[in-house]
Amino acid sequence: MVEVIPTILTADIREAQEKLDRLEELVKRAQIDIIDGVFAQNRTIDPSAMEGIETTVDLDFHLMTKEPSDWVERSVRGGAGRVIGQVEMMSNQMEFLGKAQELGVSVGLGIDLATPVSALDEAVLASLDVVLVMSVKAGFGGQPFDEKAISKIKQLNEARGSGTFKICVDGGVTPELVGKISEAGADEVAVGKRLFDGDPAVNIEKYG
């Protein structure tokens, strides 16, 4: 069974709170997308803006930023239980891992659509909670799923062997694609707009 993780991509803290309120008692965790305007031509709320948010939902912070290590502390202050950093503008994956572990949060690495699995530091893999595979170009919502992600999921599934990290697929995931994604080896799917258009409870059910 694949876990559905609702994603919130917004520059408006009130929208983030409203969406989290709609998710109460529906899901265990949600993902807050953080984009700095450098990694992609888009900008969202700063992690520190999340400090005043009230929710019972566990939060993942997906850092689509230059040097994600510099954003870990702010994310933790904003309520992150897990931080996921994109590797494309990360100079040291081990440093990112160490920073997250030092602050007591779970840690993951993300690879963009054009980034190969080989970009992940093998020395870090065994210590990760999750590897996030982008199935659209990172930085913007509402894009269609790209099949290139499937072969990466399979590669990662083989690479982890009996390892413990989860594989999360993020971008353009429709209910019809869940079977194929799960079969390839994914454990989680991150879904944004599709979950919030209408009733989130009904929409989440469709992914079951």
* Marked catalytic residue, from 33, 36, 112, 129: 33
H-helix segments, the chain: 13-23, 72-77, 93-102, 122-125, 148-160, 178-184, 193-196, 200-206
DSSP annotation string for 91-132: S-HHHHHHHHHHTT-EEEEEE-TT--GGGS-HHHHTT-SEEE
**Under 8 Å between Cβ of 194 and 8:** no
Query: Cα(82)–Cα(95) distance, rounded to whole angstroms?
Result: 16
* Marked catalytic residue, from 60, 112, 129, 170: 170
Dihedral sign of CA atoms 113, 157, 181, 34 in order: negative
33 is catalytic: yes
187 is catalytic: no
Q: Which residues are known to be catalytic?
A: 33, 170
